[in-house]
A and B are shown apart, each in its own frame.
Chain A
Amino acid sequence: MYAHHDSNIRKTWFLMAVFFVVVIAIGWGFSYFYADPSILYVFVAVSIFMNVLSYWQSDKIVLSMYKAQPVTHESNPALWNIVENLAITAGLPMPKLYIIPESQPNAFATGRNKDHAAVAVTQGLLGILDKNELEGVIAHELSHIGNLDTLVSTVVVVLVGFVTLISDFFLRSRGLGMRSNNDRGGNIQGIFFIVGIVLAILSPIIAVLIQLAISRKREFLADASGALLTRYPAGLASALEKISQYGTMPMQRASNATAHLFIANPFGSTSKKLKGLFMTHPPTEKRVAALREMGK
């Protein structure tokens, strides 16, 4: 119940440190190239700012990205009671509760610790699941909160999102450079050089960051401890089956930076694109099989 805190806190520190070093290294490269140390200061400031932002604010950023609406006891007492009772069983304070106006059935948990946790479910999920299945899904999400998986996976959203943004920016600035910097021919070559390095560094790093944060074992673990909370693994098993059956369409706001947060792949269960390196979830059949095995 309390086992995975430390390793997740270590992972978060590690992620933040790597991010810090990478951004500053890029800044150093730039300031070296332009012989202007102020660029480095800007990068240091940005890097610190993004780390602070990712720790304190990323849960709110994720929730607003998906236009999540807060739920109160009055507005949805049935859902509220399910979450409240399971939170008591797990020994967690009641998390904030949100509904995402999307028709794809899905759910995620976020927050930097158990006192600042939030659980969000889509409208589509509430539509297709019965009470036992919904309890299974909520218990899975609460296990992520209890294990502190939410800290790593939410911090990663902002950091990875930012790295993606920088790499986009460099790609564009190369384009601009070719058009406007004809009088400074030397610069173009330099920019090409930096872009080459940046892209070479960034793409594997993004992959590694995501991989680190979302080790797929985590999902099996949350399935198992979720089943321990409800004492009814079949509920989550049939919920997962329903989700993969109904959830073949991608969510409107699905994105690479947030895919790993969800209980099921937000790009849709039939999507082939994410197979391989970027596959953030173990195949549903395997999870269902593991849960059914537990129920025997």
Chain B
Amino acid sequence: MYILLIIIVAVVVWLVWAYNNFIRKVNRSKEALADIDVQLKRRYDLIPNLINTVKGYAAHESGTLEKVVQARASAMQATAPAEKAEAEKTLASSLKSVFAISEAYPDLKANQNFLALQAELSDTENKIQAARRFYNANVRDLNTAVGSFPGNFIAKQFKFTQMDLFDLEANDVARQNVEVKF
């Protein structure tokens, strides 16, 4: 009788602990995703400045600039991590092409404003990578918990699901700094 009672209590305690553990891990992952958004937002805010600066020197490169504007818009609309990562990859590579065309315009390259923006964007790129790695570390934790025995039963019961990694690594372009070698 007592043994049965002890077993029931132990199971309940474990259930509560496991449930709270999932909640904690999900919250941490969401928080980390918000941290990435902070850095991405910083990049979105810098891009209009960049476009305006480049326009003044390289007006007939509007095709390249247009691509950046479009990539920015679609990246800002994306919501799911995987979708967002895909859009960010495109944005990063379009930015890279802007810095590539700047090579052809010595006046632009000498512009203080442009140089400052370039440094700022390269720093933001590093910060996005940093925030992304923190997010991935947390999601990996969560996914392990959701996937492994016996927690997976609880996860299924309370609908805790695995989250997507924020992966920019498949496309090598995004991993490089948006920095131009002179």
Contacts and interface: CB of A to CB of B under 8 A. Distances in A.
Interface SS of chain B: helix
Interface SS of chain A: helix
Given A81-B123, A81-B126, A88 B137 contact: no
A84 B32 contact: no
Nearest to B36: A88
A88 B123 contact: no
B130 A85 contact: yes
A90 B126 contact: no
Contacts of B39: 88
Given A1-B137, A86-B130, A91 B32 contact: yes
B134 interface: yes
Interface residues of A, number: 10
A85 B126 contact: yes
A294 B126 CA distance: 24
A89 interface: yes
A90 B134 contact: yes
Contact of A88 (B28, B131, B138, B141): B131
B133 interface: yes
A89 B130 contact: yes
Interface in A66-112: 81, 84-86, 88-91
Interface in A202-260: none
Contacts of B37: none
Nearest to B134: A91
Contact of A84 (B28, B127, B129, B141): B127
Contacts, number: 27
A91 B35 contact: yes
User: B interface, how many residues as a size bin?
Assistant: 10 to 19
Contact of A89 (B28, B123, B134, B141): B134
Contacts of A84: 127
Nearest to A228: B137
B121 to A, nearest CB: 13
Interface string B26-56: 0010001001000100000000000000000
Interface string B51-94: 00000000000000000000000000000000000000000000
Contacts of A91: 32, 35, 134, 138
A89 B39 CA distance: 12
A179 to B, nearest CB: 63
Contacts of A85: 126-127, 129-130
Contacts of A88: 35, 39, 127, 130-131, 134
Contacts of B123: 81
Interface string B100-122: 00000000000000000000000
Contacts of B141: 1
Interface in B118-153: 123, 126-127, 129-131, 133-134, 137-138, 141
A86 B32 CA distance: 14
A88 B130 CA distance: 6
B141 to A, nearest CB: 8
Nearest to A89: B130
A86 B134 CA distance: 10
A196 B39 CA distance: 62
A85 B177 CA distance: 14
20 contacts: A1-B137, A1-B138, A81-B123, A81-B126, A84-B127, A85-B126, A85-B127, A85-B129, A85-B130, A86-B130, A88-B35, A88-B130, A88-B134, A89-B131, A89-B133, A89-B134, A90-B134, A91-B32, A91-B134, A91-B138
Given A1-B137, A1-B141, A85-B126, 7 more contacts: A1-B138, A81-B123, A81-B126, A85-B130, A86-B130, A88-B35, A88-B127
Interface of A: 1-2, 81, 84-86, 88-91
Q: Which 7 A-B pairs give the minimum distances between C-beta atoms?
A: A88-B130, A89-B130, A91-B134, A85-B130, A88-B131, A89-B133, A85-B126
